[in-house]
Amino acid sequence: MTQHPSLKSGAKGAAFRSVIKRHEKVKELAEKDKWEEEKDSVYKLPKVKRVKFKTKKTKGPAEAEAEAAGTAETKEETKAPAQEAGK
């Protein structure tokens, strides 16, 4: 019997989660230098804001060259009929 697609865990691990586990919160606080292992307790931790960033897709070098070549070709095409009309 096959597994239902909703039960597969392929992309679920990479999804953004707004609620994090205690050890993840301690790790983030330690990165921000707001956690001292000897002094602080793992209980009553301060809130850690999780922000989801949307990133725009950047054009690769091949796409940028193709776009630049495409605009150069259209400029040359517009100049050619104007030159022939002047003759």
- Kindly tell me if the per-residue pLDDT of 40 is higher than 80: yes
For the four alpha carbons of 31, 35, 38 and 41, in that order, the dihedral sign comes to negative
What is the rounded average pLDDT for all residues in the chain? 77
- Residue ranges covered by each domain of the chain: 16-50, 57-87
Q: What is the pLDDT of residue 23?
A: 92
Q: What is the pLDDT of residue 31?
A: 92
Give the DSSP H/E element, type plus range, for residue 25: helix 22-31
